[in-house]
Chains A and B, each alone.
Chain A
Amino acid sequence: MIYLILFLTFAKIGLFSFGGGYAMLPFIQQEVVVQHHWLTNTDFIDIVAISQTTPGPIAINAATFVGYKVGGFWGSFAATSGIVVFPFILMLLMTRLYVSFRKHSIFQAGLSGIRPALLGLIAAAAVVLGKDSIVDLKSAIIFVVVLIMTMRFRINPVVVILLSGLAGYVIG
């Protein structure tokens, strides 16, 4: 029952992935690449790149893409519904309780543990993806140049991806 598996897998990703945006990548990668082998690491990077140049949240893009690849239209529907379901329910519950909960010290203490841990999670994802994509001098140069350009000049990721695609075409 592939639709159910897709739904449950992405529900799990939705439940555990704190931080939004890139911080969700390690959770998606763990399930989609390591656990279920639906994508390879390079497929996964390609979909991150495509997500960066298309509208909407990265996690939704990734869910739709993987769902379609594994189970066609209904697969993408199941995966996208899955990733939304727990965050949606939790947000509704917490919006009702937010004043009392946000200031509760044990909740705050838990979050002060999660925030630094997220850095370790993202770093691990970057290293794992880097092993498959930074493979020679050319790709190492692209990595360093993009890192410097993004940090120093705050260039839009869409422009970065278009330019590096062009660079890949020219020197690849």
Chain B
Amino acid sequence: MASRLKLSFSLFFSFLEIGAFTIGGGYAMLPLIQKEVIEKRKWMKTEDFLDGLALSQSLPGPIAVNIAAYTGYRIAGLIGSIAGVLGAVIPSFIAILLISMFLYQFHQQPLWNRIFIGIRPAVVALIAASLINIGQMSKLKWKVAWLPIIVFILIVFFNISPAWMVILALITGMIFMRNEQ
């Protein structure tokens, strides 16, 4: 138990460091987590990490939080997973809290507006680029292309909630895609 507590402290500080030094979130954090958890601390083998990654991507929620919960649990049980998740969340929480308290009050200022008029289309471009990237990486087959198209139409033109789309896609997969793998 004492060693679990000690391990949980190390987990907390490892994920705190990862959380504090990766900008861009989620997938940007993965190489750092991999380096810390596998190479530096030798907490788990690469295969175990990849299993955790697959699990993190299969379940809802931020990838970094999921992988912190997984790593913490595998190494030090429940208390380890709490330590890992707190470490991953706290830097981002504090950073945004400070920005909300001190910086965001300027958001009605003309200067803020001029800067963000440039930034907003860039953010949309970043989202579009990630869409293309995910599309290429997921090796989407043409015969399932109807699914994202229907989802797109239902959301943009019929204002249906994304949560319903997830349930619809899950059921569609279970019925029509059982022989895909």
Name A's B-contacting residues (CB within 8 A): 12, 14-27, 30, 34-35, 42-43, 45-46, 48-61, 64-65, 68-69, 73, 76, 80, 83-84, 86-88, 90-92, 94-95, 98, 102, 105-130, 132-134, 138-140, 142-147, 150-151, 156-158, 160-161, 163-169, 171-172
| B119 in contact with A164 (CB, 8 Å) | yes
Which residues from 91 to 146 on chain B have a C-beta closer than 8 Å to any C-beta of chain A? 91-93, 95-97, 99-101, 104, 107, 111, 113-132, 134-135, 138, 140, 144-145
| A90 in contact with B27 (CB, 8 Å) | no
Give the residues in chain B near A128, CB-CB below 8 Å: 156
Please name the 6 residue pairs, one residue from A and one from B, whose CB atoms are nearest each other, closest first: A168-B118, A113-B173, A56-B92, A87-B61, A120-B151, A120-B148
| A161 in contact with B119 (CB, 8 Å) | yes
Inter-chain CA distance A156–B22, complex, in Å, is 12
| A20 in contact with B155 (CB, 8 Å) | no
Given contacts A127-B156, A146-B125, A168-B119, contact A86 B163 (CB under 8 A): no
B-side interface residues, number (CB < 8 Å): 98
| B177 in contact with A95 (CB, 8 Å) | no
- Please encode chain B, from 154 to 181, with 1 for each CB lying within 8 Å of some chain A CB and 0 for all others: 0110010111011011111110111011
Give the residues in chain B near A23, CB-CB below 8 Å: 134
User: Is the contact region of chain B dominated by helix, strand, or loop, or is it mixed?
Assistant: helix
| B119 in contact with A165 (CB, 8 Å) | yes
Tell yes or no: B5 within 8 A of A by CB.
no
| B115 in contact with A88 (CB, 8 Å) | no
B115 to chain A, nearest CB (A): 4
Given contacts A22-B127, A121-B155, A164-B121, contact A92 B81 (CB under 8 A): yes
Q: Kindly specify which of B6-14, B34-42, B70-78 makes contact with the partner chain.
A: B70-78
Inter-chain CA distance A92–B21, complex, in Å, is 26
Give the residues in chain B near A65, CB-CB below 8 Å: 96, 99-100, 104
Given contacts A68-B96, A83-B62, contact A117 B126 (CB under 8 A): no
